[in-house]
Amino acid sequence: MDMRPARPTTRRMKAPQAGLFTPRRPMPPPDAPPGAATYASPVEGKAFEACRFAVIDLETTGVGAMDRVVEVGVVRFSGDGSQSDQWSTLINPGRDLGVARVHGVLSYQDVRHAPRFEDVAGDVVERLAGAVVVAHNLQFEERFLGYEFRHLGLRIPAHPGICTLRLGCELGATSRRLDHLCRQFGIPLQNTHSALADAWSTARLLSVYLLGLRAVGRGSLEAIGCTTPQPPVEAWPRIPRTGMVFDRYQVESLPEHERPVAHRPFLSRVVDELPAGLDVDAAEYLDLLDRVVADHQVTLVEAEALRSFAEESGFDPGRCDQLHRAYFDGLVRTAWADGVLTDEERAQIQAIGALLAIDPDGIAQALAGA
C-alpha cells in the first residue's frame, strides 16, 4: 500500500465500502480538504462517533530533552468513519539525526532542504486543534511536541488524548510493540518507523480497540478515562500555516535498494519479544525503556530522560527499582529462551543490568541462567 502523502496537500484515497469501525479494515475513508476542527465542548459522555481524532507520530533524534523531531505524521478521522486525511513531513532538526536505524533517515544531508519545525508548527496545530489527540505512547509524543513548541516560546493547551499503548495494556494486549499488535489484529504494515506509516498503524489499531469497547458498552471518551475538556480552537497557539512538506521520497541520498541494511543488535531482538506486562500505569515508561535498551547506545542523556520521564509519571525511586527489576528479569528470560548466551550477549545483559541498578548478585544469577 502506498503510504505517501500528496505534495503539497493531503492525498485522497478511494473510500472502502465498510465504515471505520469494521475490524481489520485496511484504511479509514477519505476526508474533505483539511481545516481547523471546531469541536469545543467537554468530552464528558461524548460518544466516539461525535469525535474527531488526530493520530500523531513523531520520529526523533533520540529520547532526551536536547533531542529534536526529525519527522511528523498526522492522520485525522471522524469517529463515525465518514472522513479522514493525512499529512507528514520530514523536519530539519538543525543537528545530527541520531541512530539512523531507528527512523530510517541516513544523515543530516537527507533533510538539509526540509523545513524546520518552526516552519510547520502552524500546520501541526491546525491538525490537532479541536481533536482528540491519539498516539502509541502519548506521553512520549506530547513530551517532544512540548519541547518543540517551547523552542518557539509557546505551549500547547491541555486537551483530551488517548494512548493506544495504555489502552492496549488495559485490554490485555500481548505486546507493547505497535508492529506486533498490528500483526495480532491483521493490520497491514509498511515502512515501520516512518511517521506517517506508524500514524496509520496506530489509527487502525485504535479503530479495532474502539469497536471492541463499544461492543461492551464503553462507547464514550469518558468511559475509557479520557476526561480532559476540549479547549476552544482559539486556545491553541495562533501560528500561520505554510503548507511546507518535504517527504521521504524527496530525500537526496542513495536509492533505497542501495542503502545498507543495519544489523539488528541482540538487545533489539530481545526487546521485540518482551510481553506487554500487566502494569498499565507503567506502560509508557516501559516503552521508553524499550527504546533506550533496543539501540544498545545507552547514554547519560538517555538515563536522564528515563529519570525525568519517571518523575513526570509520579514514580518514586522504589517504584522505579521495582519496574527495573521486573523488566530486567523479563529481558533475561527472553534472552535465555533459546538456551544459549554468547559472550557478547552476556556483556550486553551485564551492561543493561548496571544501567538499571540491578545488584551484582542478581546480574550474576541471570548470566548463570538461575
Q: Domain for residue 39, yes or no?
A: no
In this structure, are 303 and 201 located in the same domain?
no
Residue located via cell numbers 517551547:
150
Per DSSP, the three-state class of 301 is helix
Which of 198, 216, 250 is a domain's end point? 250
* Residues 134 and 55: beta-carbon distance below 8 Å: yes
CATH code for position 76: 3.30.420.10
Per DSSP, the three-state class of 283 is helix
pLDDT value of residue 247: 83
pLDDT value of residue 278: 56
In this structure, are 241 and 359 located in the same domain?
no
In this structure, are 162 and 91 located in the same domain?
yes
* Residues 94 and 105: beta-carbon distance below 8 Å: no
pLDDT value of residue 188: 85
* Residues 25 and 18: beta-carbon distance below 8 Å: yes
pLDDT value of residue 224: 86
* Count of structural domains within the chain: 2
In this structure, are 225 and 288 located in the same domain?
no
End-to-end CA distance of the chain: 46
Cis peptide before 16 (omega within 30 of 0): no
Q: Which domain holds residue 299?
A: 266-368
Q: Domain for residue 19, yes or no?
A: no
In this structure, are 195 and 63 located in the same domain?
yes
Q: Domain for residue 88, yes or no?
A: yes
pTM of the predicted model over 0.85:
no
Which of 223, 250, 277 is a domain's end point? 250
pLDDT value of residue 8: 34
Q: Domain for residue 17, yes or no?
A: no
In this structure, are 313 and 240 located in the same domain?
no
CA gap 213, 208 in Å, rounded: 9
The pLDDT profile of the chain, 370 residues, written as one tens digit per residue, is 343 433 333 332 232 222 322 232 323 333 322 333 333 345 666 788 889 999 999 999 888 888 899 999 999 999 887 778 999 999 999 888 766 555 555 566 778 889 999 999 999 999 999 999 999 999 999 999 999 999 999 999 999 999 999 999 888 888 888 988 998 889 988 776 789 999 999 999 999 999 999 889 998 988 887 878 877 777 899 999 999 998 887 765 545 544 444 445 566 666 666 666 657 788 888 888 888 877 666 677 787 888 888 888 888 989 888 888 888 888 888 888 888 888 888 888 888 888 888 899 989 888 887 5
In this structure, are 209 and 294 located in the same domain?
no
